[in-house]
Structure 1
Amino acid sequence: MIQTMRWFGPSDPVGLADIRQAGCSGVVTALHDVPVGAVWSLDAIQARREHIERAGMHWTVVESLPVHEAIKTRGAGHERYIELYCQSLRNLAACGITVVTYNFMPVLDWTRTDLAWELPDGARALRFELDAVAAYDVHVLRRAGAERSYDAATLERAARRFATMDDAAVHLLERTIIAGLPGSEESFTTDDFARALDAYADIDTGMLADNQVAFLQAVCPVADELGIRLVVHPDDPPFPLFGLPRVVSTEEQIAAVFARVPNVSNGLCLCTGSLGVRPDNDLPGMVERLGDRIGFLHLRNVASDAPGAFHESDHLHGSADMYAVVAAVHALSVKEGRRIPMRPDHGHQMLDDLRKTGSNAGYTAIGRLRGLAELRGLEMGIARSRAAMRASEPA
């Protein structure tokens, strides 16, 4: 695998020198200062690429080139936004950057309800709790029909939780959910969020899937010509929130997109944390069955700690059998003769990073360094053991 880390640009407290010292040869980044829907200019891309190369690394993957909400809803102006998206792809290809991540999550990007959940060893992790989402949805946002999105037990726990929350706790939860997490493309006020949800009032799962296909049918021919692999990041978490549909949560949904849009540029960012929340997602099997579509890997792990709740666990321990996943990736790489970019995702806040301020939640240096070191060792062990087995086979 090509070892990379995500970098949020010149203002990121984890600098390029830190990423290089961690052993990475590549950087995953984006032009986060460019508004959603605007063209990434050739000059801006080139300047960012040169900045990274002066630090001794390469801009390996774009994460992410955001898809405007008008494209997701097929709303007013979506044709123009698709044209602008294609122009950004042309500019990236002109600068030699050919793996581009996107997502098709409505309104919200990835969602968590606690950014500093304390683990037994004192480290802090990102956590999602459905009860907290329900408490906000039903009792703070008061979305019409919100109660129909949750079962009776969740509603009861959410009501009890809300009854214990003071104004500061409500504000913190709301900011955590809608203010935009690291790498998110949007940040909302309460009123803005409610209006954004209203735009999906008449869009169900089937319609959103059709809209994703329409987007890909428009941009993939351009990406094919440019030699770009456009990789979709799965829904995070992989189930509906706030009444919004999800269309990239299961192998069935992902395979359906590939069947409907068979272009070679239509690819997958396999995120073992996002997909691993669902026990019905067979991650090693997905690597084997969808391997030719995988252009980027997010390797992380999650663990359930309560009904409807999960937290970011150690990279090697959790819902994903990371040994089996990396073994499948290694076999795929050997079979296809290519190295796939990988980044360790959502590390814990630990050691000296617990005393630092200003770091992006989930993207502190030491937690990701630990994850990268574990994954690097796992891959080397698999590769060396398989090479030894082949060498011992009779001629």
Structure 2
Amino acid sequence: MAYKMIQTMRWYGPNDPVSLQDILQSGATGIVSALHQVPNGEVWSVEDIKERKSIIEAAGLTWEVVESVPVHEKIKTRTGDFTNLIENYKQTIRNLASEGIFRVCYNFMPILDWTRTELAHPLPNGSRALLFVKKEVTAFDLFILKREGAENDYSPEEIEKAKEFYDNASDEDLKRVQDNILKGLPGSEEGYTLEQFQNALNTYSQIDRKVLEDNLRLFLDEIIPVAQENGVFLAIHPDDPPFDVFGLPRVVSTAEDMKRIVRDNPSRHNGFTFCTGSYGVREDNDLVSMVREYGKYIHFIHLRSTRRDQEGNFYEDNHLDGNVTMEAVIAEILKVQKQRKISIPMRPDHGHQMLDDILKPIINPGYTAIGRLKGLAEIRGVESALIWAGVV
């Protein structure tokens, strides 16, 4: 017997320009959502959870995964009232479980969630993609933010390319880069002014990779027992991009990071959101091997493909193109599901802005309807073909 992935779509709530009815028409059966209106660190009340769940179910869908319950910065740095914030996190887990929601995606990225420099990069066919350009991020760091010691994080060649961009960029280009880095992208819970961002960076002045790894372990020491007691599976999302930025360490980027996380907090309830786009930005990540080795800890899946170059740039490619061997990854996921005798929720991620969505005045970049519908259709086709061919 083959186990198909549970097909879901992300929905940002009642103000999302993509409606639940739109998602239902895509063929998805599940929703990935969060209570973005609740400030970071506060408890998600049972009443608010019930209300969101009832809206989703009234549309004929199920709330499969929470993405995300944000981890407060004070927890990551273990400063201030972080112990109270951890207790709030525990209560949110209990409240979600009481309403039958048992998968929670989260991340441990310092300060910034996912980062891009352009949100509507034109592709040759006229569609638009999310783009990360390393020299633009470097230019922001060196010449706009002017972070102390930033020059030590870049090679002479990287600094030269950043300076050339900065010297020749228009005011509009510089504003685009700054806004996209600081204001937060869909799913990010906080935006910053330039001064606020520098102040936030200062809180990490004594936190290197080892300290942040320890802080994640200590957080999970507290959270995992509560998750186990309530039947909740925690699924940490990889860093996006999966390398250090602005002097901030990233500790969920590689297969070695996955190994450390399950070693430090050994529990089936301590697992991963396997995001092929994030992990796929690094050439040294063998995605098929990562699924094979850590498949029993994968509780949620993001399927998208990124195309990278040797300079650290990347963009969101078509779901079946780019540097992710999507067919092989899906085949391995199906094998893992068969071994575990379960279906894992999956959502297509970061679709292109295309067709009628290009004309719409309000969108969430990466989360327009048609691009994700295209991605879901392609993924479903690959999955069905692999099952029909007897691969699993």
TM-score range, shorter chain: over 0.9
Gaps (5+ residues) in structure 1? 391-395
Q: Give, in whole Å, the separation in 2 of the partners of 1:166 and 1:194.
A: 24
**Does the 8 Å contact 1:30/1:63 carry over to 2?**
yes
Partner of residue 295, structure 1:
299
What does the per-residue CA deviation read over 1:175-232, in whole Å, with 9 as the maximum and x for residues that have no partner?
1011000000211111100000000011000000000000000010000000000000
TM-score (structure 1 length as normaliser): 0.97
Q: Give, in whole Å, the separation in 1 of the partners of 2:175 and 2:124.
A: 26
Partner of residue 146, structure 1:
150
RMSD after superposition: 0.9
1:153 Cα deviation from its structure 2 partner: 1.0
Q: Give, in whole Å, the separation in 2 of the partners of 1:232 and 1:51.
A: 26
- For residue 193 of structure 1, the aligned residue among 191, 197, 218 is 197
1:165 Cα deviation from its structure 2 partner: 2.1
Please tell me the residue identity of whatever aligns with 1:347: G
Number of equivalenced pairs: 388
Partner of residue 80, structure 2:
76
Q: Map 1:250-265 to 2 at 5 A.
A: 250-265=254-269
Partner of residue 39, structure 2:
35
Partner of residue 344, structure 1:
348
Partner of residue 224, structure 2:
220
Partner of residue 120, structure 2:
116
Q: Give, in whole Å, the separation in 2 of the partners of 1:171 and 1:293.
A: 41
What does the per-residue CA deviation read over 1:123-171, in whole Å, with 9 as the maximum and x for residues that have no partner?
1000001100011000000000111111111110100100112333222
DSSP-derived class of the 1:200 partner: coil
1:265 Cα deviation from its structure 2 partner: 1.1
Q: Map 1:102-181 to 2 at 5 A.
A: 102-181=106-185
Please tell me the residue identity of whatever aligns with 2:181: I
What does the per-residue CA deviation read over 1:267-320, in whole Å, with 9 as the maximum and x for residues that have no partner?
100000000000111111111100000000000000125622110000001111
TM-score (structure 2 length as normaliser): 0.98
**Does the 8 Å contact 1:305/1:311 carry over to 2?**
no
Please tell me the residue identity of whatever aligns with 1:301: S
Gaps (5+ residues) in structure 2? none
Q: Give, in whole Å, the separation in 2 of the partners of 1:169 and 1:302.
A: 23
Q: Give, in whole Å, the separation in 2 of the partners of 1:249 and 1:334.
A: 27
Q: Give, in whole Å, the separation in 1 of the partners of 2:126 and 2:22.
A: 23
Which segment is superposed worse, 298-307 or 15-24? 298-307
1:239 Cα deviation from its structure 2 partner: 0.2
Q: Map 1:202-213 to 2 at 5 A.
A: 202-213=206-217
Q: Give, in whole Å, the separation in 1 of the partners of 2:189 and 2:285.
A: 26
Partner of residue 90, structure 2:
86
Q: Give, in whole Å, the separation in 2 of the partners of 1:158 and 1:209.
A: 30
Q: Give, in whole Å, the separation in 2 of the partners of 1:220 and 1:382.
A: 35
Q: Give, in whole Å, the separation in 2 of the partners of 1:267 and 1:253.
A: 12
- Percentage of pairs with the same residue: 51
Is 1:322 equivalent to 2:302 in the alignment? no
